[in-house]
Chains A and B, each alone.
Chain A
Amino acid sequence: METKSRTLEITVLSAEDLRIDNKPVKKNAYVVVSVDTFNNKATKVDGEGGSYPSWNDKLVMEMPSQTRFVTLQVKCKGSRGEKTVGLARIPVTDFVAGYSPEACLQFLSYRLRDPKGLKNGIINVSLRVKEPLQDCSLQAAGGGGNAAAIGLGIPIDGRRDYGVVTGIPIWTGYPSNSLF
């Protein structure tokens, strides 16, 4: 089986309207980018931005072929340790099989949700997928059809995006309008 991995260059740009316990974050926010549970990198801490921090930090990571999501976790270094402010999951299909051509710089923004599942701000990133040199012949056939050959998934209903779904857990007892 081909274990092809691609290089992901992700620049974490900024975040907007971050809150902890409904109060705006004061300072020291940073982001942890993970491709899977073992493969993660963190940005620098933004001491001044408060609830609208900006990092402009470029991270380069290896992305194995089976990766489904790239996870962004915004954390805050407080006096009592670290707190997770919000989490966003970027399906790989959003930037691999989407409209933009391969290896093109893409700007994306995602909704962050806090550990309880409530909306908590927006994170802005730009990323680019680079192919490792030895595997460029495989990619010549084109993105979508090739992914099936590598075993990325079974196409659902003939759709190109392979039916990746993002689920949001719903707890009882929370007013429904706060989730959307």
Chain B
Amino acid sequence: MGNCCSDVGGGMAAVSGAASSAATGNQNDAVDMYLRSHGIHGLFSQIELSFSATSLRDRDVFSKSDPMVVVYIKERDGAINEVFRTEVVLNSLTPTWIAKYTITYHFEVVQNLLFKVFDVDTQYHNVEVKMLKLEEQQSLGEACCTLSEIVTKPNRSLTLDLILREESVSSTHSQHHGKLTVHAEECFSSKSTADIILRCIDLESKNLFSKSVCGDGFIFSYFLFVLLSGILVIFWCKFGLVLQDPFLVISKLAESGISIPVCKTEVLKNDHNPTWKPVFLNIQQVGSKDSPLVIECFNFNSNGKHDLIGKVEKSLADLEKLHLGREGENLYLPTLVGHNYENKILNSKLLVDKFSETVKHTFLDYLAGGFELNFMVAIDFTASNGNPRLPDSLHYIDPSGRLNAYQKAIYEVGEILQFYDADKRYPAWGFGARPIDGPVSHCFNLNGSSNYCEVQGIQGIMMAYTSALFNVSLAGPTLFGHVINRASVVACDSLSTGAKKYFALLIITDGVITDLQETKDALVKASDLPLSILIVGVGGADFKEMEILDADKGERLESTTGCIASRDIVQFVPFRDVQSGEISVVGALLAELPTQFLTYMRRRDIKPST
């Protein structure tokens, strides 16, 4: 039974709208480092979830409910952990909460979220929302979904029905307890990148006899004098003709005044007028276009102690002005004069040869623009898998329900990709088997039909797989060329209709392929299509030859006609049983998919929205 009245004092307390914990820039770097050190290299961005609800139950007697949302994450092992609470909205059955929850979006992992809405009864004025005891509050309902479901919706908003837990078990029909709408917004949309070419002229040689000389050089030249004919060395030092190997370090100034390096150019050997390769700076990474940056020019020293030649303090906007005005900025060097540091202005100048800003759309932008990832699967039915009726076969269907390697791979990849496909109809093929009354086929429809190749949902793939297993006789050899060509035709057909689709073909195989060159030919032809090929190797075979197909580990693929793959579309990963909690191997397989997608779109200059 609800409270009589609401806590008006609590309702008047201020709530900050921005995500409370995220500190701009720095947290991103720390999160980046943490994730990379744990081997997660995928494309990830920060998403802000905001909440609103309609038609909530009224639990209070004389006023309306005072609702609050609590967000939980469901881990892979089933544990449910609370991660966030919004503020309490006073006296409303259609609240819109201000507090937003920031979560990192991972493409290659299923992120299950659970939302519970509570009516807060206790007095919450002057009490932090975190301290409220949930057991004392009344539940208005709960709902769950995955993060990918939210971001793939056209306007990135997902509306869920709230259900009450006690009733879901006992009642035969669900009562309406209102709806919760979750909206996702990409923060740090990392869109604008500045492409800069920097150049220096008249870099001053370091005079060995000046105060800031490094001791090593002096001692070295002394021994040189002793060992070789001395006069030549003295002349060499006197004229200060020391070799310069300059490079630049660009740092941003944190609020505390310390500088944090953001990027570093390559080292140019022996160059007094160096022009470095273009530097790409993410404008969000440095803060904003007006954030002060320090650009320092160092002389590379192989012992790691690089000498500072000079530095300059400019923001990105200042660099743009230098580029437009075609002027240079003199470097200065803080030198010790007496007891103080003075900035000695040098003759060397920094020039900006190129400054252009480009907008780089993110993967989520394309999803919001209506692009889809279509999943296709091809399964190896060669005899090397073993007789499916025997327990040691890779295709053995365990009556106890334990999934075999093929089923696990389909399930793990499918459960992530299914949200990115609108109609959930997946083409599924088998290869290397003899269907009933037929010759060996290297690309037959898994559903047994001769007309269409699609099945409905991941369940459809599982069912077609098990039925195909007992309707075909395993044969061989292992050839990929046919399924790759078939998938290429599907991708090409979609291209000609102008659909916004990108295809991912999952090939699950137990052995090394027999037609390496034919596969390479098929891959080279497919490399210009909106298609990525994910190959999972199951069983204990030695897959070293398969790694040739993945250009990450080798050279670009070349066909028999001299044509070379225009981009790397293959990802190969051997599938091993992974304990729960570890980063799934399949995760590593999928992590590159958004990058391959973006490479395809950016190369053709295809923008997300029409």
Contact = CB atoms under 8 A, between A and B. Distances in A.
Are A and B bound to each other? yes
Contacts of A139: none
A122 B528 contact: no
A101 B492 CA distance: 7
B603 interface: yes
Interface residues on B, range: 20 to 34
A99 interface: yes
A37 interface: no
Contact of A166 (B491, B495, B529, B562): B562
Contacts of B526: 99
Given A109-B564, A111-B562, A166-B562, A101 B495 contact: yes
B196 interface: no
A99 B561 contact: no
Interface in B510-564: 525-526, 528-529, 556, 558, 561-564
B63 interface: no
Contacts of A104: 495-496
Contacts of B561: 91, 94, 166
Contacts of A107: 528, 566-567, 603-604
A138 interface: no
Given A105-B604, A111-B558, A100 B529 contact: yes
A170 interface: no
B363 to A, nearest CB: 20
B609 to A, nearest CB: 20
A109 B488 CA distance: 18
Contact of A99 (B525, B562, B565, B566): B525
B463 interface: no
A89 interface: yes
Contacts of A89: 562
A150 to B, nearest CB: 22
Interface in A70-119: 88-91, 94, 98-101, 104-111, 113
A101 B498 CA distance: 10
Interface string A163-174: 000101000000
A56 interface: no
Interface-centre pick from B495, B526, B556, B564 (highest chain A CB count, 10 A): B564
A99 B489 contact: yes
Contacts of A113: 562
Interface in B426-456: none
A43 interface: no
A100 B488 CA distance: 9
B566 to A, nearest CB: 4
A166 B561 CA distance: 6
A120 to B, nearest CB: 12
Nearest to B497: A101
A110 B556 CA distance: 11
A124 interface: yes
Nearest to B564: A109
A132 B356 CA distance: 36
B356 to A, nearest CB: 14
Contacts of A108: 528, 563, 566
Contact of A100 (B492, B565, B603): B492
For the residues of B in contact with A, the DSSP-based class is: mixed
A142 to B, nearest CB: 11
A101 B529 CA distance: 10
Given A105-B604, A107-B603, A122-B556, A98 B525 contact: yes
A99 B563 contact: no
Nearest to A112: B562
A101 B528 CA distance: 12
B548 to A, nearest CB: 14
B562 A124 contact: no
A139 B464 CA distance: 41
Interface string B443-480: 00000000000000000000000000000000000000
Nearest to B492: A99
Contacts of B489: 99
B601 to A, nearest CB: 13
Contacts of B566: 107-109, 124
Contacts of B491: 99
A153 to B, nearest CB: 16
Contact of B528 (A90, A91, A100, A110): A100
A45 B307 CA distance: 37
B563 A94 contact: yes
Interface string B559-578: 00111111100000000000
Contacts of A90: 563
B556 to A, nearest CB: 7
Contacts of A109: 556, 563-566
A109 B558 CA distance: 9
A99 B556 contact: no
A110 B496 contact: no
Contacts of A124: 566
Contacts of B525: 98-99
A101 B491 CA distance: 11
Nearest to A90: B563
B529 A99 contact: yes
A110 B566 CA distance: 9
A93 to B, nearest CB: 10
A106 B603 CA distance: 10
A124 B527 CA distance: 13
Interface string B571-610: 0000000000000000000000000000000011000000
Contacts of B492: 99-101
Interface-centre pick from B495, B528, B567 (highest chain A CB count, 10 A): B528
Nearest to B524: A109
Nearest to A98: B525
Given A100-B528, A107-B528, A109-B556, A88 B562 contact: yes
Interface of A: 88-91, 94, 98-101, 104-111, 113, 122, 124, 166, 168
13 contacts: A88-B562, A99-B491, A99-B526, A99-B528, A99-B529, A101-B496, A104-B496, A107-B567, A107-B603, A108-B566, A109-B566, A110-B563, A122-B564
Given A94-B563, A99-B526, A108-B528, 8 more contacts: A89-B562, A91-B561, A100-B528, A106-B528, A107-B603, A110-B562, A111-B558, A122-B564
Nearest 10 interchain pairs by C-beta: A101-B496, A109-B564, A99-B492, A107-B566, A111-B562, A166-B561, A109-B566, A107-B528, A99-B488, A106-B528
